[in-house]
Structure 1
Amino acid sequence: MSVGMRTKYLKINPLVPELHKIRLAAKILARGGVVAFPTETVYGLGANALDGRAVRRIFRAKGRPADNPLIVHIASFQDVQDLVAYLPPRATLLMQRFWPGPLTLIMPRSDLIPDEVTAGLDTVGLRMPSHPVAQALIRATRLPIAAPSANTSGRPSPTTGQHVLRDLRGKIDAVIDGGPSTVGVESTVLDLTSPVPTILRPGGITYEELQAVLGKVAIDPAVKGQQVEHPKAPGMKYKHYAPAGEVFLVTGDLERVVARVRALVAAWQRRGRRVAVLATSETAPFYQDEPRPDYLEVLGSRRQPETIAANLFGALRNCDRHHADIILAETVKEEGIGLAIMNRLRKSAANRIIRA
């Protein structure tokens, strides 16, 4: 595959996908191509999960390290039997409760899954997306689809078709544009091969929801910033979600956070830097007076953290469009989907945290 190939752009109805467009994308996947498609979390970059050569095209298009495993997307419960060596006892309960939806389950892989998908591990991550376009595409292809986020590796994940085109136009065969993703952060990844089910990546299904079903649930130290050498799930090892500007998280009592952010804006602007602030609707009015940031993005309300999650990656990309050198982001409570928001912010900031 060479850069400069023609990328087909397929605008589609996200609720009632046009069958001829789905079939066109399915044909591309069946012949070993790569297609970006919407899910409820973020856009995925898909290839036939049973074809190692097709999967390698994902890695080349993204510039993704080969030891970073992929998630396999399916459209029926029957598909699981062929893709795992055995079904852990808790898996059926979780699938019945959360599938289709933003939960990936790590289970022992079957011999059908090539090493390219799992980075040579003996486990595989499976997910059943709920987005109608993703469901229709998988069913039409009649194959499991390996799909990481459809962005250049290390960049903020894409939540619109236009985000995908900005990163991957000319590098992939097609983009199916089904409008903005609703969850906005990737799926929760839960390891069922450990003695206690362990969250390797927080996402659209929360720790609290999993705990209510399973009782005891662990959180991998990598979720809160500890580095790992051999990742069992995407996003555990490498720099992720990073815009061009340097991201700093400002944490502490909210009133002190606002004061510290305003002081940092003034200090960096005196040094000739363009400064963006990622705020919430509760704090945004306090950044309207001088010193004002060069760009202010309101992510949503702290009372509705789901809106913050949905807007986060788009906001980081908007900071690039406004040529921000420095990006100051307020932190949120690490409960509910806030755990996923803070995981992504830490990755974006490479753990640069300023305490107010």
Structure 2
Amino acid sequence: MAHIVTGDSGIHDVVEALRRGDVVGFPTETVYGLAADIRNEAALQRIFSVKGRPTSHPLIVHIADFDQLHDLAVGVSPACLALLEICWPGPLTVVVSAAPHVSRVCTGGRDSIAVRLPAHPLAQMVIRELGAPVAAPSANRFGHVSPTSALHVANDLGDDITLVLDGGPCAVGVESSIVDFSVTPPEILRPGSITAEEIRAILSHHGTDLSTSSHGPSRAPGMMDRHYAPRARLVLHEAGDPLPVDGAPILRFDTNLVDAARHLYERLRELDARHIPLAHVVLPTPSGLGFALRDRLSKAAAGL
């Protein structure tokens, strides 16, 4: 079982592990990440093997400041920078053209890189003390329910990693919004707590449109048809629909969307912990944060 560490000594232990080429669990405001030093290709490859993740699936690189963005990326547009000035640090990832020196292990073989500046103070401390960005997808088995606590990480990956830095429960609870600036107009590849409406409003001040219709092969995490999935079968219902009376639990995500997002993955994990085979899910309306919740729940329910 992975050792859960806390405080300054925990930060030190995690940074030393990263310097040795280990992969570690660390907190962000969205979900917990499985982090590796981006300068170490063997460590990056270890992320894929621990998660069981396809190597063509890009990793999100987490940074501590804008200087690290400019080291990793080339040709970042003024509209992109304007968006980041407002939304960073925070739950927004941008896909931009990668600098030549960036490992293509990190980018899934592409010439673009996904970058985020997390708001969680412990994540920033780890990156600053390490002196380099970290690649950090969600710290769970590929396709399964994302972790929002250190214990979730230890339970999922404890046989394959040694350390998890405990930063408490994740404040947001769903993965970051992803906007692809390597295409014109920019596209939302994954909805999150920073909504399409908010992003479009910012970009419009800089004469830039926003597309919400991503297409083609997976260019970012979370674009697979089935993802974020518990073992339980989920049956989705719109708010106001009649619900079956079959004894299966009913999970409602149609009120208090901020709280619903924060506890989404915890509630899905509880189904599996209780060995519940089937649950009914009431979806939120498709607007604002509701888009992100519907995205996660639709993918969690797909394919069963």
Question: One fold, TM greater than 0.5?
Answer: yes
Name the SS for the 1:319 alignment partner: helix
2:210 equivalent in structure 1: 217
1:178 equivalent in structure 2: 167
Match of 2:270 among 285, 295, 318: 318
Checking the alignment, whether the CA contact within 8 Å between 2:74 and 2:97 is kept in structure 1 is yes
Larger gyration radius, structure 1 or structure 2: 1
Aligned residues: 300
Q: How does 1:35-114 map to 2 (within 5 A)?
A: 35-114=24-103
CA distance in 2, matches of 1:49, 1:86: 21
TM-score norm. by structure 1 comes to: 0.81
Checking the alignment, whether the CA contact within 8 Å between 1:151 and 1:158 is kept in structure 2 is yes
Shift in CA distance, 238/35, structure 1 to aligned 2, threshold 3 Å? farther
Q: Identity over aligned residues, as a percent?
A: 39
2:281 equivalent in structure 1: 329
CA distance in 1, matches of 2:82, 2:146: 30
CA distance in 2, matches of 1:221, 1:59: 24
Is the aligned partner of 1:7 residue 2:2? Answer: yes
Shift of 1:249: 0.8
CA distance in 2, matches of 1:52, 1:188: 26
1:292 equivalent in structure 2: none
Checking the alignment, whether the CA contact within 8 Å between 2:187 and 2:214 is kept in structure 1 is no
Checking the alignment, whether the CA contact within 8 Å between 1:41 and 1:204 is kept in structure 2 is no
Any gaps of 5 or more consecutive residues in structure 1? 1-5, 13-17, 223-227, 270-274, 281-300
Is the aligned partner of 1:341 residue 2:293? Answer: yes
Shift >6 Å, 4+ stretches: none
Checking the alignment, whether the CA contact within 8 Å between 1:42 and 1:157 is kept in structure 2 is yes
Name the SS for the 1:209 alignment partner: helix
Q: How does 1:183-202 map to 2 (within 5 A)?
A: 183-202=172-191
Shift of 1:177: 1.2
Q: Which moved more, 1:87-96 or 1:33-42?
A: 87-96
Any gaps of 5 or more consecutive residues in structure 2? none
Is the aligned partner of 1:135 residue 2:108? Answer: no
Deviations 1:145-169 (A, max 9, x none): 0000001111110001111111000
Root-mean-square deviation (CA), in Å? Answer: 1.5
One-letter amino acid matched to 1:305: L
Checking the alignment, whether the CA contact within 8 Å between 1:50 and 1:112 is kept in structure 2 is no
1:297 equivalent in structure 2: none
1:208 equivalent in structure 2: 197
Checking the alignment, whether the CA contact within 8 Å between 1:106 and 1:192 is kept in structure 2 is yes
